[in-house]
Structure 1
């Protein structure tokens, strides 16, 4: 336990697990906790989680565990992040009316995307939002809710997202950060940074924006812990709570990504990119959004299935191994194979794909299989397929003129460094790493310090202790340069077939 003094509590609810930390205002870790949970996939393309049974239950469990042996009065601030953007309808009492509809891995609203593009015009929508409508956008999912669940819609009083729901349960206030709100297109205007009625009728059925939360920056104070939340969590009522944000933005803060040209590469259940920019460079292939701090702009991108793919492979192809050993064994076996997995190529589009192809009907493909291939080859091919997808995104960034000066890697997939090395070899890009890789919850603790008035944005670099940089291997890169065009061709060549199968 650290010497007596104020503590900051950060909490992140991810796709498959939730994490919490207690740190000092200097960034020193005092305690950490993790709980796991599952997803619900009730229909093809539908990916959901229960707001109270997963998000809020995890939050309560983590907070109580972190406060064991700690005087709650020492907690000077709290901040939450979570998967997003999600869609969660609440009734007039703030109670969830259905499970939350998840971010871009949920592809149910393609018909609504097509309808909005047809009715409003793709060019007009892009000019308004600075982004194209994709499975990441919440507007089409809100329209899906209105069209497919009219009973739920009739009772919907508030539309929120996962991080905002946690902040609401702690403070009683509905508030959303600008980064997340940008994905609520076409309801958000990035120029005015306000909700816009311009296209609201096509999404909400009317021009009434009262269902939407207040807007603020991630590091602003949303409110204070209510007596009810204090009784459920053990936090002291009156403790400041930050607005919070999506997990990827909090994760970028956790490794000091804050200056223009800084790019976070997050190795999680999905792979996410957050680039801090001096000025926005909107492009239909990626997402132009607000940052964590007032006035900041980010370019963001995200793949659909990366860590989720390795988890699937471990679950399906390593059933003979205890869960805790499966990953270690698969990574160790993959490390012994040469670049190219001895003739295999993998398209990692097992949940469709987000950026830069934005194709919800894309599907996973493993090409080149022979009877000599083993599960180690399949696993190596999956790691390499994700790396090729990362290269594809980085090339899209370069094509639109985005200035990437340094890449910082973070997330569970960085452990063991094999995946990092493969990505650097495929992309030719060095990746910086940090000694403390606690993830989004650590970034949330920094936001908590901002909301509590204990930290400034300039304090963030002091929280990050650098670890060795991963540099490309020239020989491996030469082999991957030969394979990358085949990876791109594999998608275009199989697209008609997998689209037909998806239908």
Structure 2
């Protein structure tokens, strides 16, 4: 009997297993490592922890197994995918850590800082490489390689420039093991926008000013199971294994896991379950479609394609329900028994499983969970079965999207938590009408898949399907019940309409929550603020660590166009419609021949809406006179005219701006606990404030570009503002830039395209017959480029 080592480099630990050549797990061992979260939405790990953990896990498992190292014939490894590292020529990580000076971290797969580098930059290119993202409809996830690399270039240019390699966890470890830098066709196909039929995404990279990334990516690529090389002397000593032991090319954990489930033929699918569901199917031709990802060519097996879907919250919803109805005092077996006594459809009760949003087929981060049809006759068993049915029907909707694109799964191999529940397995089979396979050791599918690659690399089998035939064993098959499947037909129809019906409510409730959900800051009130975070925390948050990824799309409702008899009610109406900020103009007659309200109105709004983000525009001759009053009244942000800080000189045809005065006022506003910004009249060039926007020394939080002269209604939109906005965005990618005046459903898209992320609108919102529809249209325009706050 020969043996191989399979390794699974996961998010929380690295696991090693010794397998015999027939697929029997002899022993396993795991070494944990830590994840750092230096900012909301960021997640980092130290590559040196991976390497140290690998050595400890392999030495421990070999000792535990009792297998002589001379009988170990191969080594294979899977890792998390899109855990991106920047390396120097010696293979050492480059990025400095904000929190630990001796750490050089990677951007972990779950790191979402590159949100701004996704929809606005990537999808806008319309490149053919984007077909894998719902047939080009998107979105492109911030998890993927290109957005992360683009973030590095924009935000850490020194690190990016110094990097010899920009690669993955997988590539870093293989370099350490063999001394050879190569890419996995699996990682490149599923997350780098590489296609074996069309090659590297060179036109996409060129459109993003990222062509130099091609020089930093590994220059060679290998298929899964191909031999990268033998263990170097140092690597062998680190692992306690023989020098020269063949190392097989691995890939992303879940995709290697489908091999460990024996999914190697067209029409077969792997369902990897846990806190979430991942659906990976094999097809013999290239397909793409809305509501799914892929297909990825040659990603696991040469000549085949992979289609992908996912549900964000599945097992986590079952765990949530158990926790709230009894926790440890009630077992899943008890809940299953109660649910099994309930008929299909739960007597009219439905559960929408979008507790953490929806990944596919809707790709909606704002969607949420819901129970519909509750009555006093429903029991705990009804509700738990509704949870299980809701997740199963969510899987069916993923399969529907794949069927529309041309993929019809003939069987599903299941691994993970759902496999421990006979009831849930049967529900999946009944709802989807597809037989399910349970394999021996399916919970270790990733580890077994890596061992299979090791066996192929060692020459124990001539192909991955050959290794699967010998090493993967189906223990049982769950067949769908035809009568139950028919009964679920009308139930699924109702479930399908549930999301469509509730979507407007979810988005209205989310309001300004998208930034909070994705870990972004950048000013404004997030959902957490609306739910009770003290306003002082919002105003004191500051932007010292703000990046371009933190910029969010914001609708700013100008109450100058609201009903003066009920400012508080009007502001509340705008917020309920989806606006995130409220814009208050204070004009003293100097900049416009009108007189409007002052700090008392701000104070009144603050009393009515304690968590409202109040954006004050001071169109006054002496803005410094109002700063203390506005801080006391509860303003969140104060904007003042740069034109108030200039002097007319008879000897010069153009006014002279006192930039030091502008900077001093901004500092005073910030010191009072508010965000600071300036307003530029249509004729005032962006260059005036350039000294305040230099990299590393940004002294402003926001710039308001007026598209009309202040104070006069009915003026046409001045298109010259668009060039100014573009110039400002280029100067400072982290800045909030708002366009104020003349913003309506026709001009909003042009403002966003130029680079504005805040749309200040009054008549468009408060003068509309349908306030919510108007705000929704503005939000839609913003969403073309920005993640909404």
Same fold (TM over 0.5): yes
Alignment match, 2:607: none
Q: Distance in 1 between matches of 2:216 and 2:22?
A: 39
Distance 1:101 1:283, change over 3 A: farther
Alignment match, 1:480: 488
Distance 1:91 1:370, change over 3 A: farther
Q: Distance in 1 between matches of 2:356 and 2:311?
A: 9
Distance 1:475 1:39, change over 3 A: farther
Distance 1:399 1:382, change over 3 A: same
* Structure-to-structure mapping, 1:222-301, within 5 angstroms: 222-284=228-290, 285-289=292-296, 290-301=298-309
Q: What is the CA distance between 1:353 and its match in structure 2?
A: 2.8
Equivalent residue in structure 2 for 1:77, among 69, 74, 79 = 74
Distance 1:418 1:232, change over 3 A: farther
Equivalent residue in structure 1 for 2:312, among 291, 304, 317 = 304
Contact 1:179-1:291 within 8 A present in 2 as well:
yes
Q: What is the CA distance between 1:275 and its match in structure 2?
A: 2.0
Q: Deviations over 1:323-380 (max 9, x none)?
A: xx96566556655555445655333334433222233443444445678878766654
Alignment match, 1:26: 22
Q: Distance in 2 between matches of 1:318 and 1:57?
A: 42
Q: SS of the counterpart of 1:30?
A: strand
Q: What is the CA distance between 1:139 and its match in structure 2?
A: 1.7
Equivalent residue in structure 2 for 1:216, among 204, 222, 243 = 222
Worse-matched range after superposition: 165-174 or 68-77: 165-174
Contact 1:167-1:244 within 8 A present in 2 as well:
no
Q: Give 5+ residue unaligned stretches, structure 1.
A: none
Q: Distance in 2 between matches of 1:36 and 1:331?
A: 33
Distance 1:40 1:364, change over 3 A: farther
Worse-matched range after superposition: 118-127 or 259-268: 118-127
Distance 1:169 1:347, change over 3 A: farther
Q: SS of the counterpart of 2:354?
A: coil
* Structure-to-structure mapping, 1:10-409, within 5 angstroms: 10-16=6-12, 18-34=14-30, 46=41, 48-52=43-47, 55-68=50-63, 69-96=66-93, 97=95, 99-103=105-109, 107-117=112-122, 119-121=124-126, 125-126=130-131, 132-135=138-141, 137-150=144-157, 152-186=159-193, 188-192=194-198, 194-203=199-208, 205-213=210-218, 214-284=220-290, 285-289=292-296, 290-310=298-318, 317=324, 320-321=327-328, 331=336, 334-335=339-340, 337-340=342-345, 344-367=349-372, 379-409=384-414
Q: SS of the counterpart of 1:209?
A: helix
Contact 2:437-2:477 within 8 A present in 1 as well:
yes
Worse-matched range after superposition: 367-376 or 78-87: 367-376
Contact 2:189-2:299 within 8 A present in 1 as well:
no
Distance 1:487 1:292, change over 3 A: same
Q: Distance in 1 between matches of 2:49 and 2:334?
A: 30
Equivalent residue in structure 2 for 1:428, among 415, 421, 433 = 433
Q: What is the CA distance between 1:7 and its match in structure 2?
A: 0.9
**Alignment size in residue pairs:** 492
Q: Deviations over 1:374-394 (max 9, x none)?
A: 876665444333212210111
Contact 1:272-1:301 within 8 A present in 2 as well:
yes
Q: Distance in 2 between matches of 1:13 and 1:87?
A: 14
* Structure-to-structure mapping, 1:389-468, within 5 angstroms: 389-437=394-442, 438-457=444-463, 458-468=466-476
Worse-matched range after superposition: 404-413 or 305-314: 305-314
Q: What is the CA distance between 1:304 and its match in structure 2?
A: 2.6
Q: Deviations over 1:306-333 (max 9, x none)?
A: 344445556x5478529xx965665566
Contact 1:142-1:203 within 8 A present in 2 as well:
no
Please tell me the root mean square deviation across aligned C-alpha atoms, in Å: 3.4
Q: Distance in 1 between matches of 2:9 and 2:189?
A: 20
Q: Distance in 2 between matches of 1:123 and 1:209?
A: 17
Worse-matched range after superposition: 354-363 or 232-241: 354-363
Q: Which has the higher contact order (CA 8 A, sep 6+)?
A: 1
Scaled by the length of structure 2, the TM-score of the pair is 0.56
Q: What is the CA distance between 1:396 and its match in structure 2?
A: 1.2
Q: Give 5+ residue unaligned stretches, structure 2.
A: 96-103, 515-789
Q: SS of the counterpart of 1:27?
A: coil
Q: What is the CA distance between 1:223 and its match in structure 2?
A: 1.9
Q: What is the CA distance between 1:198 and its match in structure 2?
A: 1.8
Q: Distance in 1 between matches of 2:10 and 2:418?
A: 14
Q: SS of the counterpart of 2:121?
A: helix
Q: What is the CA distance between 1:109 and its match in structure 2?
A: 3.8
